Chains A and B, each alone.
Chain A
């Protein structure tokens, strides 16, 4: 229970259906840690894991009459989500902390807690569906009824074991329906705004977060400054550090040219930021590594799927084929804009998640 509308409504729904429900909030990050550091806001109200959100979750649990506990997983969160987040940026990639959190915290640590306290499964407020497919003998992850809220992109790492013990009660509902249900259950937070940004990055400014985090850790920000080069290798300027850039970015390059320039590629090895025209951003292939497959046990032969390369991306038709024991080559029918290392490529067979991997 994050203290938001979705998980609160899930708790109220399940309770009303007569399940034995135990409310848990994962305390993952101390929002006060960075508050007031240089470049960070003084106050961190109304964010995940803030005192306000824990308060909201606890009040919902009290209102619907379920036991409620806060479990602290700050150490694991820092090790498995925050650290990799910082390191990915410093290596020139654009990370997705939410997927890491799902893989390492919500569907790993939380499932362990569930087992420890004798719960059969974990229910969350994610917009996704889980179903067991008799014919395949596998648990399937499917896109939800409300595609505008689809969170399957962040859930591609779930294993069969994890899926078998997970329920997503909001999978068949739209967000307005969820809010309406929250109102019907008399939940005071029915109108609470959705959280949008990365929970531990106040104001969404990840660069300032990286600075503040490293300063707190007593570590120097590595010097990742280097050359700004064109696709043909011509040096046209310098940049302040590769972690300040993301593929597809147009603003803030610090060079003035006639036509708009975009970041095409970031090279961690030689600290180069490659820039080019809009058309240079398009490519037809990507390699996905650290792959997890859900609807199939292995990819024995090439398969036609639709592939999503970032959270807000319409899945695009592609062929996937295994090229190494832990690598899948994705070849799109049409070139895709800004394929970004560090993001996930998630494969869909209509509304079924086939699997996914991390873009190399």
Chain B
């Protein structure tokens, strides 16, 4: 079966160039980057090259990059590492669970957390951030781009508010990195998370930008790796892959390839909306990353739609992969004001660098007929058809 993959917000394939860059570090270049000898020096150089590439993508110094096992660890390191019992934290209600559940844990250990609402375009209101500030506020954590809708948050404004108030600002940029330009200075953040496998590097590697001079408590204790911010022998092949992917991403953004990606996404979105009645873009009109669209197909069950499309070779999702098998409708879509049945009838399409125009055309052939069949069977849809 010919398979089309439009679930790149869940994970992306490792690009061939990235894989090639990593290959020596599974074999001849095997040294421990902390070793004094030749072997260690070789891998240390590779790790530091990668650090510079990641720093270039984010607009920071290499010394401000801490490599982690992924986006979740980066988020947890920022949140747990910057906050202590008694502190107050401000976050949004549409964060990834890596942030939300880390904040829930903070509440258990004696912190206060404010979860800000969002509007119908999944935007946090900067004024809400300002109003939520308290004397003991230590950290604001607001994501840069939402994983389910792709919507961008007003992080620059939040950054200014944080700077004025003198509190730390962390942003989860896992879904923004490589899709839109990131400049940590413009954002004015203290910490920023990225993940390797969302940008065509392998799973199991990520990074946290930590602004120079920031005291951050590590999650693990051990050797003095990563300037004592993250103990444990470096995942050298993964880090090399992340570095290569970051460099490729920066070059692609500089060439304006994000606009080509957006054009393909728009073609998909418009094609679907033109062919399927009672469908619409969730959060329509807001600024978003170029690869994502989240569409509600009223009167269908998104879970069944994902399965039906998968059986025909099209991979999409109802939302975060981590929520699969869960009962609750997406917390993001519900926070945006969608009815639970609409949230359950929503599908996320997310493109990657490997996506080609032909994939979009094939998806456009599959989606409308699948929605039509699901609606034909849907008891809710039938009832509506009879009553209208």
Contacts and interface: CB of A to CB of B under 8 A. Distances in A.
Interface of A: 22, 27, 30, 54, 67, 69-72, 74-75, 112-113, 115-118
B327 A116 contact: no
Contact of B327 (A67, A74, A112): A74
B373 interface: yes
A117 B310 CA distance: 9
A119 to B, nearest CB: 9
B324 A118 contact: no
A115 B327 contact: no
B308 interface: yes
A71 B327 contact: no
19 contacts: A22-B307, A27-B325, A27-B327, A54-B325, A67-B310, A69-B310, A70-B324, A70-B325, A71-B307, A72-B303, A72-B327, A112-B377, A113-B304, A115-B377, A116-B304, A116-B373, A116-B374, A116-B377, A117-B307
Given A112-B377, A113-B304, A67 B311 contact: yes
B213 to A, nearest CB: 43
Contacts of B374: 116
Given A27-B325, A27-B327, A72-B303, A118 B373 contact: yes
Q: Which interface residue of A71, A113, A115, A117 has the most chain B CB atoms within 10 A?
A: A117
Q: What is the size category of the interface that chain B forms with chain A?
A: 10 to 19
B162 to A, nearest CB: 37
B326 interface: yes
A135 B385 CA distance: 37
B301 interface: yes
Nearest to B324: A70
A118 B311 contact: yes
Interface string B207-229: 00000000000000000000000
B304 A117 contact: yes
Given A71-B303, A72-B303, A116 B326 contact: no
A309 B187 CA distance: 71
A27 B379 CA distance: 21
A27 B374 CA distance: 21
Nearest to B377: A115
A30 B327 CA distance: 10
Contacts of A71: 303-304, 307
B160 to A, nearest CB: 42
A118 B310 CA distance: 12
A72 B303 CA distance: 8
A116 B308 contact: yes
